[in-house]
Amino acid sequence: MGQHTVEVNKDNFEEEVLNSDMPVVVDFWAPWCGPCQAIAPVLEELGAEYTGKVKVAKVNVDDNQELATEYQVASIPNLVFFKGGEAVDRQIGFSSKGDLENKINSL
Residue of 100, 107, 86 lying closest to 40 (CA atoms): 100
Cβ 84 vs Cβ 26: under 8 Å: no
**106: exposed, middle or buried (Cβ count in 10 Å: 0-12, 13-18, 19+):** exposed
Cβ 43 vs Cβ 5: under 8 Å: yes
Residue from 36, 43, 67, 73 carrying the catalytic annotation: 36
Residue from 33, 40, 87, 88 carrying the catalytic annotation: 33
Could you confirm whether 76 is annotated as catalytic?
no
Could you confirm whether 91 is annotated as catalytic?
no
Among all residues, which ones are annotated catalytic? 33, 36
